[in-house]
């Protein structure tokens, strides 16, 4: 073997290595930049670098969760995917909550983040994926029972969130609103347990694809051939379940450290530049949801629109039914009490989002026009959130 062939192989190996671990490599690079900027008291750069690093490590967490979910099967796979999807959101919002003692606006940012997570999932994630998939395949089919079930769940959950909000806007005492918030949080968690049984035990067929296109089968065949050629290149594929769980918790711990820095400096930046709590919450939601957006777009390009619907609506469901109870409990034990009294803009945008999702998915087919409709609703909400 001559030197040119050796160099070519080394370059090829380096490219494959970077392709497999680019998120970890670049994530640690921005982690380093985050702490350098924080040490030099540059809050704007710190916030940006921390956000990028959080997104990249979140992609790694989602990759490991996918491996574990495939190995464990149902219902345990759903537990892993649910945990990985909601962990980053809870960590970010809880760290923002802890800043509320010094900056009261922080609590409004948390409330905006809770609602915005659903709006981003249902409009940006679903909208972009449906739009891109529609351009490639004209129309894509999914199981209409999936969207029907999820939109019903989200509609009921949104109405439940209205209870403390109505009490808050009816001039009730704050302790009444707080008590109602904890009661609703408990009901939402019980509702989630019921849904989990429904989804993973009694009605699994509601959440599976009814048919797949020839293009999907062809791409799956090509992917299986490619995977056999590059089998076991990804280190987490070789790890046991135990070590993959350990790896996932390590990356979530890193995200937790970055979230604390992001919250500390981010709140300063939001306040300094006069960024509304609604827009700040929207920014946090985009950061926490971004790994799922990448996954959904890739799925749509592979004609896996069922996977897109499951990701978008499943993540939205978890954002309400798990994030809200978790933040209420964490807030209680940290003496940072969260009340579920959302403003009319947030509740209205949430309900309109669910109605639009119901209309665009109820027939089991999607196209690029429906994707554009979701993106338009999101942009309108973003404008109002910035100026509200």
In 3-state terms, what secondary structure has residue 140? strand
Q: Any residues with CB less than 8 A from the CB of 118 and at least 6 apart, and which?
A: 154, 316, 319, 320, 350, 353
Tell me what pLDDT residue 49 has: 94
Tell me what pLDDT residue 168 has: 74
Tell me what pLDDT residue 219 has: 41
C-alpha 388/C-alpha 382 separation (Å) is 10
C-alpha 107/C-alpha 331 separation (Å) is 11
If one counts the domains in the chain, the total is: 1
Which of the residues in the chain have pLDDT under 50?
Answer: 210-222, 224-231
Q: Any residues with CB less than 8 A from the CB of 257 and at least 6 apart, and which?
A: none
Residue 39, burial from CB neighbour count under 10 angstroms (0-12, 13-18, 19+)? exposed
C-alpha 82/C-alpha 261 separation (Å) is 25
Does the model's pTM come out above 0.75? Answer: yes
Per-residue HEC secondary structure of 302-329 comes to CCCHHHHHHHHHHHHHHHHHCHHHHHHH
The CATH number of residue 196's host domain is: 1.20.1420.30
Taking the CA atoms of 246, 260, 46 and 290 in sequence, report the sign of the dihedral they define: positive
Residue 239 zone, left/alpha/beta (φ > 0; ψ -120 to 50; rest): beta
Which residue range forms the structural domain that includes residue 119? 3-387
Both tokens of residue 35? 């702490």
Tell me what pLDDT residue 34 has: 94
């Amino acid at each position: 073997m001559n030197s040119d062939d050796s160099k070519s192989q080394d370059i090829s190996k380096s490219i494959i290595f970077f392709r497999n671990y680019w998120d970890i490599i670049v994530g640690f690079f921005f982690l380093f930049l985050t702490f350098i900027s924080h040490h030099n008291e540059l809050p704007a750069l710190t916030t940006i670098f921390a956000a990028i690093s959080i997104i990249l490590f979140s992609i790694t967490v989602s990759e490991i969760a996918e491996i574990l979910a495939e190995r464990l099967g149902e219902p345990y796979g759903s537990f892993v995917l649910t945990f990985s999807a909601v962990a980053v959101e809870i960590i970010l919002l809880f760290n923002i909550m802890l800043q509320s003692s010094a900056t009261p606006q922080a609590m409004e940012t948390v409330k905006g983040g809770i609602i915005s997570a659903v709006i981003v999932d249902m409009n940006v994630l679903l909208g972009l994926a449906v739009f891109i998939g529609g351009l490639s395949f004209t129309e894509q089919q999914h199981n209409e029972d999936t969207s029907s079930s999820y939109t019903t769940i989200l509609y009921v959950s949104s109405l439940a969130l209205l209870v403390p909000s109505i009490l808050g806007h009816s001039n009730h005492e704050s302790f009444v609103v707080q008590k109602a918030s904890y009661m609703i949080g408990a009901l939402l968690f019980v509702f989630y347990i019921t849904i989990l049984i429904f989804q993973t035990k009694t009605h699994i067929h509601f959440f599976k694809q009814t048919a797949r296109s020839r293009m999907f089968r062809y791409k799956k065949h090509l992917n299986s051939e490619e995977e056999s050629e590059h089998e076991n290149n990804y280190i987490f594929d070789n790890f046991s379940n135990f070590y993959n769980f350990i790896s996932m918790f390590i990356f979530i711990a890193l995200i937790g450290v970055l979230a604390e820095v992001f919250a500390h400096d981010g709140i300063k930046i939001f306040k300094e530049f006069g960024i509304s709590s609604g827009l700040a919450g929207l920014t946090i939601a985009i950061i926490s949801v971004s790994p799922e957006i990448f996954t959904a777009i890739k799925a749509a390009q592979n004609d896996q629109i069922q996977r897109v619907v499951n990701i978008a609506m499943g993540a939205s469901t978890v954002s309400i039914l798990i994030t809200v109870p978790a933040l209420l409990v964490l807030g209680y034990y940290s003496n940072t009490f969260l009340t579920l009294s959302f403003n009319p803009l947030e509740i209205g945008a949430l309900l309109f989002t669910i109605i639009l999702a119901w209309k665009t998915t109820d027939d089991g087919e999607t196209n690029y026009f429906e994707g554009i409709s979701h993106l338009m609703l999101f942009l309108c909400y973003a404008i109002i959130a910035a100026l509200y």
